[in-house]
Amino acid sequence: MKIPPGKPWDKILDAVLVRMVVVVALLVLAAQVFLAGDPQGQDVVPAMSRDYMTPQQAVAGRDLNKPVVTFKLKEFTSLPRARLLVNGEAAGVFSDRYVTVFVAEGDTLHIDGTRYERPFEIEVLDVSREVAEPQPGFSTKVKGSLGHIGVVRLSR
């Protein structure tokens, strides 16, 4: 490689290093794009959060024959800090407008709205045919407190 007249070695080396850094950054970006997989494959939950379940726990915890209750968040599209509690344990998060949870006879249902000062309303949108209580259409308003939905009763 010939040195152009009037250009010292340090300027040429600087230009070469900058170009190499740009090329390596583009290669890393391209590798991430091709190796990333399906971006809508699954929801991302931090491994240190209380809502994280290993894939084995998630599959084992879902019995598709169990009765379910679906809730709808009214007037908001999401309230990610509002939780649906079943027997005092977080069973759903309103990171979307709808939350469906598995229930059993005698389960108590509450909405944890303690992290919000504004009032919001939750409606029971749909239930499995085995569920007698709560009824679809029932709604409750929560404002900075724990909202009581009721006790689950199943029809036999």
Lowest mean pLDDT among 4-13, 22-31, 139-148: 4-13
User: What number is the average pLDDT over the span 113-117?
Assistant: 90
Q: Tell me what the mean pLDDT of segment 5-30 comes to.
A: 89
Whether residue 150 sits in one domain with residue 119: yes
Residue 133 in domain: yes
Residues 91 and 130 in one domain: yes
pLDDT for res 60: 46
Domain count, the chain: 2
Whether 29 and 82 map to the same domain: the answer is: no
- 131 and 62 co-located in one domain: yes
Range of the domain at 26: 6-35
pLDDT at 52 over 80: no
pTM of structure: 0.59
Is the pLDDT assigned to residue 49 strictly greater than 80?
Answer: no
CA angle 38, 44, 45 (to 5 degrees): 160
pLDDT at 58 over 90: no
| pLDDT at residue 56 in the model | 43
Nearest to 143 by CA among 110, 119, 123, 122: 119
Q: Is residue 41 part of a domain?
A: no
pLDDT category, 38, cuts 50, 70, 90? low
Least confident span in 18-32, 46-60, 82-96, 127-141: 46-60
Q: Assess whether 67 and 139 both reside in one domain.
A: yes
pLDDT, position 77? 82
Asked if 145 and 114 sit in the same domain, the reply is yes
Q: Check whether 1 has a pLDDT greater than 90.
A: no
> What's the chain's average pLDDT?
82
Same domain, 64 and 28: no
Q: Closest by alpha carbon to 97, among 119, 120, 73, 116?
A: 73
On whether residue 85 sits in a domain, the answer given is: yes
Clarify whether residues 87 and 129 are in a common domain: yes
Same domain? For 61 and 108 the reply is: yes
Q: Which residue has the tokens 């309230």?
A: 79
Asked if residue 42 is part of any domain, the answer here is: no
